[in-house]
């Protein structure tokens, strides 16, 4: 199998200095502010980004040290296949978060609804477009019975090894 390597395009800054207590989804991180520092060689790529109210951040879970095929996710005590969860401990520890873009100041993106640990390496940015990204769903698997726990769910460091 071919190895794939990525180079970070920036770093995410947030008030969360460690995983413990971080909201597990951006929707529950209202009024939580942060910044994204985009490295100088990528600044030109930010052109026209300020025209979007929300952006998708794709990043590397840098504190994850391993993964298991079956995990107990934050909102359930029962084990599930890792691919049926959004657990950060994955074969490729890649995270995504849709955050509110407040403004762009040169190479600094001011964002809200941050659910990311400070110092996380940014891999990519994409604009959030509801017509592309919102789907009507019929079922949510094991989360059907657990999604009501989301407002109070926080990282308890169970995936840090």
Average of pLDDT values for 45-62? 97
Does some domain include residue 4? no
Residue 157 belongs to a domain: no
Mean pLDDT of the chain: 91
State pTM to two decimals.
0.89
Q: Is residue 3 part of a domain?
A: no
The verdict on residue 17 lying in a domain is yes
CATH number of 68's domain: 2.40.30.70
Is residue 2 in a domain?
no
What total of structural domains would you count in the chain?
A: 1
- Identify which of 120, 143, 148, 135 has the alpha carbon closest to the alpha carbon of residue 22: 120
Residue 18: the pLDDT is: 92
Residue 91 forms part of a structural domain: yes
Residue 61: give the domain boundaries: 10-131+139-152
Most confident of 19-28, 42-51, 63-72, 144-153: 42-51
The answer to whether residue 75 scores a pLDDT higher than 70 is yes
Sign of CA dihedral 36, 41, 45, 46: positive
- Mean pLDDT along residues 146-156: 75
């Amino acid at each position: 199998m071919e190895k794939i390597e990525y180079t970070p395009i920036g770093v995410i800054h947030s008030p969360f200095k460690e995983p413990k207590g971080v909201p597990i989804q951006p929707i529950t991180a209202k009024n939580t502010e942060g910044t994204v520092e985009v490295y100088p060689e990528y600044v030109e790529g930010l052109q026209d980004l300020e025209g979007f109210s929300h952006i998708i951040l794709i990043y590397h879970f840098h504190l994850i040290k391993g993964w298991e095929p079956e995990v107990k996710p934050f909102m359930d005590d029962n084990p599930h296949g890792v691919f049926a969860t959004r657990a950060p401990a994955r074969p490729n520890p890649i995270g995504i978060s849709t955050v509110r873009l407040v403004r762009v100041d040169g190479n600094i993106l001011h964002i809200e609804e941050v659910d990311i640990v400070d110092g996380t390496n940014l891999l990519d940015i994409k604009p959030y477009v509801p017509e592309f990204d919102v789907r009507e769903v019929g079922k949510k698997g094991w989360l059907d019975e657990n999604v009501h726990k989301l407002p109070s769910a926080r990282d308890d460091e169970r995936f840090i090894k």
